[in-house]
Amino acid sequence: MSTAVTRKIGDSVFPAIGYGAMGIAAFYGKAQPDEERFKILDAVYDRGVRHWDTANVYLDSEELIGKWYAASYPSPILALMRPYTRFKRTGKRDEIFLATKFGLGADAATKGGVDGSPANVHASIERSLKRLGTDHVNLYYLHRADPRTPIEHTVGAMAELVKAGKVKYLGLSEISAATLRRAHAVHPIAAIQVEYSPFTLDIEDPKIALLQTARELGVQVVAYAPLGRGLLTGQYKSPDDFEEGDFRRKVPRYSKENFPKILRLADGLKKIGEKHGATAGQVSLAWLLAQGEDIIPIPGTTKVKYLEENIAAANVKLTQEDLREVRKAAEDADATEGTRYPEGSATLLFADTPALTIYMVLPPIDICLVRTALDGRRNLLAATRMFRRRAVITESHHAYIAIGVPPALKVHLELAAALEVEVADRAVGGGGVRLVLVEHGVEVYVFGMSI
């Protein structure tokens, strides 16, 4: 494998093509026996793939990786006795950039929904570390935006894992651009994970603006399903080719009606590949790599021959004309009819979390002082400091409890110095001034009685 083409997340550098460990365990039909799957992971490691991606919800994917580490441990009995260190003791831990996810399904208190609560952040990492047989992960993602928990709360708790040494970098998956901005203001987000391929270009949509926002913030983009869940290879001719239990049978975009369009796109990629001695799948991966050094594909497979094919895609150099032809093939095929997830799951894509709401209750004070302090787009933090000794921060279902200025609010106020602030004199919950930091998804309610 050529190591010339690399990608970077934080300070970690690895070969450009990663490995997605979902399909080896979940969602594509019955999983193979462990020994067969160990052979795949052996091949992934032996062929130099160093970016491994899994999740708590991928059935036994985390456990499988943990058992694979244990198989290389000098004493299997000791490996079981020391579950948090067995991966490290194989000598392979430092070589692998290991990413996992939480909040969706398996560990969620919502029993199949999304749980980004601080309590679940801490509980989930402990379970994942135990399953993986390691004391830390390199990248920890929130799998989907929680519609009940402000992202500031979730990322604040995730940042505590960084301080504890259990996580090195933080990531988010399938979130909105606004949620990414809010999260990044609390703690740097190293990567987002989104479905991205010539088949699925949603991230590029100006209305969604996620790719644009990620690049503005310096956030890497990890592209899952870079082969269109296998459909861009041309291997599947109809939904009937999916085995029983394969979740793709339930995806509206993979319907019998839309499948001819998908095959048209796969055929277009195949024709482009013929000029380079490459397969349709390799063209898809090479096209993604050509979109920028911030794009990191993580194709998954359960067969060594396809693993090798995916790795070799890093050496396929498409011309500018080829890149345009790939886009034209996608436009001509128009194969995006229907959602890319079954009903219910599709509503979690590019999703927002609730606004962070903080209440500041002041003793009797002239409201004019508040308005004056905030006049002329001045620094909100300085204004808040006026009342720091007297203010009491009370909790709502979205609020931090603190005395004075809560940490999350400090972050937003410091970043909001140059923002327009809407100051409303109308009564809010008994009288007061309402300040709305729209740009950061934060609502601040300052209560006080005029005298």
335 and 361 inside one domain: no
Distance, in Å, from the CA atom of 437 to the CA atom of 418, rounded to the nearest integer, reads: 11
Determine phi and psi for 20, rounding to 5 degrees: -90, 120
Q: Looking at the domain assignment, is residue 34 inside a domain?
A: yes
Q: Using one digit for the tens of pLDDT, what is the confidence trace for 86-121?
A: 454 456 888 999 999 999 986 766 666 899 999 999
Looking at 284, 313, 348, which one is the last position of a domain?
348
Q: Which residue has the higher pLDDT, 407 or 234?
A: 234
CB 377 within 8 A of CB 412: no
pLDDT of 373: 43
Note the pLDDT of residue 105: 81
What does the pLDDT read at residue 27? Answer: 87
Q: Which of 19, 58, 306, 400 is catalytic?
A: 58
Confidence of residue 240 (pLDDT cuts 50, 70, 90): very high
- Residue 234 resides in a domain: yes
In this model, does residue 383 exceed pLDDT 50?
Answer: no
- Please enumerate, as own/partner, the contacts of 406-410 that have beta carbons within 8 Å and a separation of 24 or more: 406/358, 407/156, 408/152, 408/153, 408/156, 408/186, 408/356, 408/358, 409/358, 409/384, 409/442, 409/444, 410/381
Assigned token pair, 78: 């000791």
Q: Which whole number is the average pLDDT over 79-85?
A: 49
Q: Fill in the DSSP letter of residue 303.
A: -
Task: Tell me: do 150 and 219 sit in the same domain.
Answer: yes
Which range of 55-64, 70-79, 280-289 scores highest in mean pLDDT? It is 280-289
Query: Quick one: 330 and 419 in the same domain?
Result: no
> CB–CB of 194/221 below 8 Å?
yes
Contact 66, 100 (CB under 8 A): no
**Model confidence over 319-343: pLDDT tens digits?**
999 999 999 999 999 999 999 998 8
Looking at the structure, do residues 320 and 427 belong to the same domain, yes or no?
no
- Whether residue 75 lies inside any domain: the answer is yes
Asked if residue 303 and residue 394 are part of one domain, the reply reads no
Average pLDDT of 390-416?
Answer: 35
pLDDT at res. 405: 37
Overall number of domains in the chain: 2
Judge whether 1 lies within some domain: no
Amino acid, res. 109: A
| Backbone angles phi and psi of 10, in degrees to 5 | 65, -125
Phi and psi at residue 394, in whole multiples of 5°?
-105, 155
Query: Both ends of the chain: CA-CA distance in Å?
Result: 75
Residue 311 lies in a domain: yes
| CATH number for the domain harbouring residue 26 | 3.20.20.100
**93 located within any domain:** yes
Residues of the chain with pLDDT > 70, as a percent, come to 72
pLDDT of residue 336: 92
Q: Which of 320, 348, 376 is the last residue of a domain?
A: 348
Lowest mean pLDDT among 80-94, 99-113, 242-256, 408-422: 408-422
pLDDT at residue 417 tops 50: no
* Residue 429 pLDDT level (bands cut at 50, 70, 90): very low
Average pLDDT over residues 5-23: 97
Q: Are residues 331 and 371 in the same domain?
A: no
The reply to whether 254 belongs to the active site is no
Residues 437 and 368 in one domain: yes
CA 373, distance to chain mean position in Å, is 39
Q: What are phi and psi of 58, to 5 degrees?
A: -85, 50
Residue 331 domain flag: yes
Residue 145 lies in a domain: yes
More confident residue, 446 or 281: 281
d(CA 372, CA 118): 37
| Confidence (pLDDT) at 91 | 62
Q: Residue 418's domain spans which residues?
A: 356-447
Q: 396 and 380: one domain?
A: yes
Final residue belonging to a domain, choices 348, 378, 410: 348
Contact 147, 354 (CB under 8 A): yes
Task: Look up residue 23 and give its two tokens.
Answer: 């399909």
Largest distance between two CA atoms of the chain: 80
Burial call 63-95: b when 16+ CB within 10 Å, e when fewer: bbbbbbbbbbbeeeeebeebbebbbbbbeebee
Hey, what are 216's tokens? 């503005």
The more confident residue out of 65 and 109 is 65
Q: 339 and 263 in contact (C-beta within 8 Å)?
A: no
Name the strands in the sheet holding 97-102, side by side, starting at the edge strand that comes first in the sequence: 19-20, 51-53, 97-102, 137-142, 167-173, 191-195, 220-224, 295-297
- Rounded CA-CA distance 411/398 in Å is 16
Q: Which of 198, 226, 200 is nearest to 20 (CA)?
A: 226
- Section 252-259 average pLDDT: 95
Torsion sign across C-alpha atoms 326, 331, 335, 339: positive
Length of the chain: 451
**433 falls in which pLDDT band (50, 70, 90)?**
very low
Looking at the structure, do residues 193 and 338 belong to the same domain, yes or no? yes
Say yes or no: 330 and 377 in one domain: no
Residue-wise pLDDT tens digits, 181-239: 999 999 999 999 999 999 999 999 999 999 999 999 999 999 999 999 999 999 999 99
Instruction: Tell whether 167 and 200 lie within a shared domain.
Output: yes
In terms of domains, do 49 and 159 share one? yes
Band of residue 74 on the pLDDT scale cut at 50, 70, 90: low
How many helices, marked H, and strands, marked E, lie in the chain?
15, 16
Report DSSP letters for 179-210, one per residue: HHHHHHHHS---EEEEE-BTTB-GGG-TTT-H
The rounded percent of the chain whose pLDDT value lies above 90 is 65
